[in-house]
Amino acid sequence: MEFVHSTWSNNGGKEGMRLYMEIIVGKTAGFCYGVNRAVEGCKKVLEENKEKSICCLGEIVHNKTVVEDLKKDGIKFIDNISDVKDITIIRAHGVPKVVYEEAENNNVEIKDFTCPNVLKIHDIAKKYADDGYFIVLCGDKKHPENIGTLSYCGKNVYVVNNDKDVFKALEVIEKSGIKKVLLISQTTFSVEKYFIIREILGNELNRDIEFVSENTICNATELRQDETKKIASDVDFMIIIGGKNSSNTQKLFDIAKSNCKNTVCIENVDDLDISNIKSFNKIGIMAGASTPKKDIDEVINKIEK
């Protein structure tokens, strides 16, 4: 963990007294490898194709600051590949396989910045689906990453987001008559929830069913969630910085809140209410995988000032 110190006047104490406010910033806060690769890739595409129209299919990552900056640089964000004229960027979350087919049929040039960890899940899902497995996918079925992954899972798949969903999945598996089950996960899923789901499946599936578990939560997610828990357990006030529609940011908030009751989730420095912080001496800061460094720095500077 990185330690940053700041001072401010203690109005409740003796005149002239100053106390140190300690700010603890997570080492894992901010861009993960996949996000950095996608954002830097976009910049390179812009630099190398100044005369062409550059589009991105969906938000490159779930962060308002990043998307707005790329818009200013000239990238147009679209929802349908049929709207493309020249070059199309594939976002870090990935897309359904039909998008690649449409791009090829329409001679659309693709620049693919799908996170390698997501592509790995696609390969795993396809392999097991082809081998006749029923696939249980942990995550939010409406999340872009899972929408892409589902296209590789075949017809026998069920998305679970909590332990209640697992029992519904068990009913579907039993009705299917399939004797082989694979458990995989969204890269940013809660590590704690994943192992709870795995334990339930392992205990409840019939003994004649082959059960395979592939933990596809990325290492960066695990490290970030673990560090968030440690920091939140050691501070008086916790700040999570990240996009409102960011799955991994929401997971960090949930973890922090369960370990520090004084926890807030903000998108950027504009959302930070300093009046909520002044009565605390030890502040923790963690940021989602799509949060740029400048958003983190601006929050730190606002607190210090």
Catalytic residue among 59, 101, 104, 145: 145
Report the distance separating Cα 97 and Cα 194, nearest Å. 26
Report the distance separating Cα 214 and Cα 203, nearest Å. 17
| Token representation of residue 100 | 């690649």
Report the distance separating Cα 305 and Cα 52, nearest Å. 44
DSSP 3-state of 286: strand
Backbone CA torsion sign across 118, 121, 127, 133: negative
Q: Is 223 exposed, middle or buried (0-12, 13-18, 19+ CB in 10 A)?
A: middle
Whether 145 is a known active-site residue: answer yes
| Token representation of residue 117 | 């960890």
Four-point Cα dihedral 69, 70, 71, 76, nearest 10: -170
- Within 8 A by CB and 6+ apart from 85, the residues are 53, 55
Catalogue the active-site residues: 145
